Amino acid sequence: MPYKLALGPLHPAYEEPYKLTLSCKGEVVEDVQVEVGFVMRSIELLTQRRNYIRDLVLVEHVCGICSNVHASTMAMAVEKIGNITVPDRARYIRTIMGELERLHSHLLWAGIGSEDIGYHSMFMEIYQLREQVMDILEAISGNRVNYGMITLGGVTRDITDPKSLLAMAEKVKAGIEKVVIPIFTQDKTIIARSKGIGILSREDALTYGTVGPLARASGIQEDIRETFPYAAYADLGFKKVVLDTCDVQARVIVRALEMLESVRLIEEALKNMPAGPIRPEQVPLTIPAGEATARSEAPRGEVFYYVKSDGSDTPARVKIRTPSFMNIPSIRAMVKGQYLADMPLIQASIDPCCSCTDR
C-alpha cells in the first residue's frame, strides 16, 4: 500500500537540515519531494553592509569545509572590476589552498560515506588522513578551517618552507594510494552497496544542471579548472576525472581519483612556485563602479559569484550560487525505483551542503 515517509529535516545520514518526503510503495521509493531553507543566514544581504575586505572574511562562512574557494571567487570578481593583477606567486598559493581544501572535503565525504555503508574501520582510516590534510592547512594559514588566506590582489600569507609541505603531502598521497583507492575500487562490501545504486543518467544530470563530481560521475565533461582556468591551473596542467556508469560507485571513484590529482597539483605548485610578492603593496579599499562574475571549481562543483560595485568600499550587490543548490534537486531522479534502505547512501552520495545552499 502506498505511503509517505519523511526523512529530515534532521535525519541519520547527514548532520544538516533538509527534508525529503518519500512516496513509497512497499520498500520501493516512487518519488520524493525535496525541501531546503531551514538555515537561511542572509549572507548576500550582509555583504552589502560591510566593506570588501570584511566581506572576504564573511563569505568564508558560507561553508566551513570550502571556505577558501568562496573568498577566492569573490576576490576574483572584485579584481576584475578593479583591474587588479594578482602576482604569480599568489596565484600558485591560491591553487595550493584550493586543492588542499578539495582534499579535505573529499576525505570528509568519504568518511561519512563509509559510515553510512557501515564500514567503521574505513571511516577511522580516512579521518586520520583528513587530519593530516588539516595539519598542512594549519601549517600554511595558522587555521584548520576558515583560513583567512585571501585578500584583494593576492594572499595574506606566504609559503616559506615548501619542502616540509611536500613531505607532508607525500604521506597523504601514500595513504590515498594504499588505503582509499584500493578499498573504494575493490572492496566487495563497498561495491555491493554502491554499484548500480542511485542512477543519475547523463540526460537527467544535464536536465537538473548538476555540477562537479556528481556531474562528472554521469559522464559530463565539465570542470571549471579546465573550462575557465583561474589561479595557476593553466600553468600546472590538469586531468579531470570522468566516468559514465552514473551510480553511487561512480561518484565514489571520481572523488577518490580526484584526490590523487589534487595531491599532484599541490606537489607541482610547491616545486615550481615563482618568486616575487604575494599581494600588491597597497590593497585598494574602494573599487570603481562596475560589475563582474567569477567562477571556481569548489570540491562539490562550480561556485559562481556576481558582484556589482557603485564606486564605494561596499558592494552594491553580491549574488552567490553554490554547487549544492544545483545538485540537491537531482535526488529526485536518483531515488525513483530504489529501495528505501539505500536512501541514506544515495542522498549522501551527492555530498549535499545545506549551509551553502541556504547561504
Segments making up each domain of the chain, as ranges: 40-338
Residues 54 and 318 sit within 8 Å (Cβ to Cβ): no
Return the pLDDT at 7. Answer: 77
pLDDT confidence of 15, banded at 50, 70, 90? low
The CA angle 249-116-223, to the nearest 5 degrees, is 40
What's the pTM value of the predicted model, to 2 decimals? 0.93
Mean pLDDT within 62-71:
89
3-state secondary structure of 28: strand
The CA angle 214-216-220, to the nearest 5 degrees, is 120
pLDDT confidence of 5, banded at 50, 70, 90? confident
Which residue would you say has higher pLDDT here, 306 or 354?
A: 306
pLDDT confidence of 8, banded at 50, 70, 90? confident
DSSP string, 97-144: HHHHHHHHHHHHHHHHHHHHHT-HHHHHHHHHHHHHHHHHHHHHHS-S
Residues 268 and 236 sit within 8 Å (Cβ to Cβ): yes
Among residues of the chain, what percentage have pLDDT more than 90? 57
Residues 331 and 350 sit within 8 Å (Cβ to Cβ): yes
pLDDT confidence of 238, banded at 50, 70, 90? confident
> Is the bond preceding residue 315 a cis peptide, omega within 30 degrees?
no
Return the pLDDT at 341. Answer: 84
**Tens digits of residue pLDDT in 313-342:** 999 999 999 998 899 889 899 988 888 888
Q: Please check the confidence at residue 16 and state whether its pLDDT lies above 80.
A: no
Contacts 24+ apart (CB under 8 A), 173-177: 173/260, 173/263, 173/267, 175/125, 175/128, 175/129, 175/132, 176/129, 176/256, 176/259, 176/260, 176/263, 177/260
Return the pLDDT at 137. Answer: 92
CATH topology assigned to domain 40-338: Cytochrome-c3 Hydrogenase; chain B (1.10.645)
Mean pLDDT within 28-41:
83
Mean pLDDT within 334-352:
86
Return the pLDDT at 13. Answer: 55
Grid coordinates given for 6: 519523511
Q: What kind and span of H or E run contains 190?
A: helix 188-194
Return the pLDDT at 12. Answer: 54
Instruction: Report the DSSP beta bridge partners of residue 291.
Output: 308
| 294 backbone dihedrals φ, ψ, rounded to 5° | -150, 150
**Mean of the per-residue pLDDT values for the chain?**
89
Winning range, highest mean pLDDT, from 58-67, 108-117, 287-296: 287-296
Specify the amino acid at residue 269. Answer: A
Q: State whether the Cα torsion 329-204-333-117 is positive or negative.
A: negative
Q: Please check the confidence at residue 295 and state whether its pLDDT lies above 90.
A: yes
Distance (Å, whole) CA 39 – CA 14: 14
3-state secondary structure of 269: helix
Return the pLDDT at 60. Answer: 93
